[in-house]
Amino acid sequence: MSLQRVLIAGRWRDAESAGTFQSSNPATGEVLPGEYPVSGWGDCDEALSAAAAAADALRRTDPEQIARFLERFAERIETRKAELVECAHLETALPKSPRLADVELPRTTNQLRHAAAAAREGSWALPTVDTKMNIRSTLAPIGPVAVFGPNNFPFAFNGAAGGDFAAAIAAGNPVIAKGHPSHPATSRMLAEEAFSAANETGLPASTVQLVYRIKPESGLRLVSDPRIGATAFTGSRTAGLALKGAADKAGKPIYLEMSSINPVLILPGALAERGAKVAEEFAGSCLLNGGQLCTNPGLVLLLAGEATERFISAAKAAFDSATPPPLLSADVARSLAESVQVLRKSGAQLVTDTQVPAPGARHPNTLLRVSGEQFVADPDTLQTEAFGAASLFVVARDAAEAARAIDSLEGNLTGSIYSESGGGDEALYAQLAPRLRLRVGRLLNDKMPTGVAVSPAMNHGGPYPATGHPGFTAVGIPAALRRFAALHSYDNVRPERLPAALRDKNPNGRMWRLIDGEWTTSDYNRNPS
């Protein structure tokens, strides 16, 4: 069996290999064909130099051409859809339909097309013109972006095709993709299509590069290398914080989406009004894809009472009757079991009693409960993320205890509040929502957090340690592009030397620019007639 090749400096070539690995089918445990290299530092080093050269070329490239690349890449993914879905299914055990074929792959191509539109239109860069002082500014590409993709979205967050990839490219930067080792074949196929699309549309050959796996110390060097512009990482807190430490020390921006338990607060009026329906929504959201979503509702805060007990019973019934799907990998199953143990040792009581069917990497659907008092006494441990179909009910005695529980939450991506539709919970909402607001990036009403729409108003981000900076989002265009940019001001620069976005004439007639304090798509007319 020959070793798969990495994509570096515009060609598929043998890796400078520091080891090899294979992926396996988590549904069956069987090892999948294909042996993949663990790249040594030499691969990263060559990729960085090639990316630096590509970055220079991309700065001189018409955004229209970058847009065409992203669109062509989307088309090529669609052309190869059946094969991609089959491959990702084998590597992740995620269902082919609807998940991979009907949800995630269309989401991926949709993101690429959104990013293309943003690149073409250009407003994402907040071009700003001060005609009186003749100072003009715009966000500009930051340089090569390393994208570390997670295990749970083989397409939509893939380092070589996902949201971070699309945003980095649309902002004008080349990408060095670090595929997740649990789905190397999927990453390879996506990189093949990206590479072909780059060639077809005339982008620099090193616009997209791919390594499958690198040693941890290479990761630390990669994110802090002088040639890197920025890094995007989606994955575990442990790995994310290690990379952050290295990048911070080198003064290199790094955007992390690390962990989140996505608290859901269900107020008494909502339980009285529609407790069964909310339980159904909760179970549907928490069990979706084996619970392996960044926005999985991993903590439900309730006020003690009969309706809460009924809610818990209904959720238990749903969890007990659902068959746990195979998880993304044996590692995920092991890590989930460990987290559940941590929660139980901290006093969380098991609610569910699901059995695990063989074979494959599976874990029982798990619900646990603690009192508000217990939670507030040991909030750090009781916020251990149990990545999978697991959630912790925190049953507070009263609103004051619920408030204390909320105040002891770490930063999260999302927070949801269910309340009575007629306004019966308003006083509680007014007391608790402002506290939850400060702990989360996205606040939802009457809705579970899973489902992260690609909307300009989305925030798939939040306070530390959900991410590394509360001002940025990983999903949502145009904002996601602004992570991969540096602010460039031009002071008294001669008109013909300005970037097109900052000249008096609007470069495409559609770009929104802030001219003398007004957002407009018009040209600036120096001498209006």
**Least distance to its own copies, CB of residue 389, Å:** 22
Pick from 280, 488, 500, 507 the residue near its own copies by CB under 8 A: 488
Residue 185: name the closest of 13, 21, 379 by CA.
Answer: 21
Pick from 1, 251, 355, 528 the residue near its own copies by CB under 8 A: 251
| Separation between Cα atoms, residue 136 and residue 491, nearest integer Å | 7
Assess 464 for contact with its own copies (CB under 8 A). Answer: yes
Assess 514 for contact with its own copies (CB under 8 A). Answer: yes
Assess 479 for contact with its own copies (CB under 8 A). Answer: yes
φ and ψ at residue 203, rounded to 5 degrees: -80, 160
Catalytic residue among 91, 257, 401, 420: 257
Assess 407 for contact with its own copies (CB under 8 A). Answer: no
Assess 89 for contact with its own copies (CB under 8 A). Answer: no
Assess 506 for contact with its own copies (CB under 8 A). Answer: no
Assess 328 for contact with its own copies (CB under 8 A). Answer: no
Pick from 456, 503, 504, 523 the residue near its own copies by CB under 8 A: 456
Assess 492 for contact with its own copies (CB under 8 A). Answer: yes
Residues numbered 90-109 forming contacts with its own copies, rule: CB under 8 A = none
Peptide bond into 364 cis (omega under 30): no
| Separation between Cα atoms, residue 382 and residue 395, nearest integer Å | 13
Assess 463 for contact with its own copies (CB under 8 A). Answer: yes
Residues numbered 134-193 forming contacts with its own copies, rule: CB under 8 A = 135-137, 139, 142-143
Would you call 286 a catalytic residue per the annotation?
A: no
Q: Are strands 208-211 and 230-234 parallel, antiparallel or unpaired?
A: unpaired
**Least distance to its own copies, CB of residue 424, Å:** 13
Residue 91: name the closest of 255, 263, 279, 328 by CA.
Answer: 328
Residue 134 zone, left/alpha/beta (φ > 0; ψ -120 to 50; rest): left
Closer residue to its own copies, CB minimum distance, 357 or 451: 451
Q: Which one of 103-111, 152-160, 240-248, 309-317 is the stretch in contact with its own copies (CB under 8 A)?
A: 240-248
Structural contact between residues 180 and 149, judged by C-beta atoms closer than 8 angstroms? yes
253 three-class SS: coil
**Least distance to its own copies, CB of residue 170, Å:** 15
Residue 369 burial by CB count (10 A; 0-12/13-18/19+): exposed, middle or buried? buried
Residues numbered 408-437 forming contacts with its own copies, rule: CB under 8 A = 411, 414, 429, 433-434, 437
Dihedral, CA of residue 41, residue 44, residue 46 and residue 47, to nearest 10: 170
| Separation between Cα atoms, residue 459 and residue 260, nearest integer Å | 13
For 408-423, the DSSP string reads T---EEEEEEE--TTS
Q: Which residues contact 36 (CB under 8 A, 6 or more apart)?
A: 3, 4, 20, 21, 22, 23, 181, 184, 212, 213
Closer residue to its own copies, CB minimum distance, 150 or 240: 240
Pick from 22, 493, 507, 523 the residue near its own copies by CB under 8 A: 493
Assess 234 for contact with its own copies (CB under 8 A). Answer: no
Residues 91, 158, 115, 476: is their CA dihedral positive or negative? positive
Structural contact between residues 169 and 177, judged by C-beta atoms closer than 8 angstroms? no
Closer residue to its own copies, CB minimum distance, 125 or 214: 125
Indicate the residue type of 442: R
| Separation between Cα atoms, residue 330 and residue 326, nearest integer Å | 9
Q: Which one of 86-94, 197-205, 272-280, 469-477 is the stretch in contact with its own copies (CB under 8 A)?
A: 469-477
Assess 21 for contact with its own copies (CB under 8 A). Answer: no
**Least distance to its own copies, CB of residue 492, Å:** 5
Closer residue to its own copies, CB minimum distance, 89 or 513: 513
Assess 130 for contact with its own copies (CB under 8 A). Answer: yes
Assess 222 for contact with its own copies (CB under 8 A). Answer: no
Q: Which one of 33-41, 64-72, 165-173, 475-483 is the stretch in contact with its own copies (CB under 8 A)?
A: 475-483
Assess 512 for contact with its own copies (CB under 8 A). Answer: yes
For 19-66, the DSSP string reads EEE--B-TTT-PBPS-BEEEE-HHHHHHHHHHHHHHHHHHHTS-HHHH
Assess 505 for contact with its own copies (CB under 8 A). Answer: no
Assess 379 for contact with its own copies (CB under 8 A). Answer: no
Q: Which residues contact 198 (CB under 8 A, 6 or more apart)?
A: 69, 73, 204, 205, 207, 208
Would you call 87 a catalytic residue per the annotation?
A: no
Pick from 184, 219, 275, 465 the residue near its own copies by CB under 8 A: 465
Size of the site for its own copies (CB under 8 A): 71
* Residues noted as catalytic: 257, 294
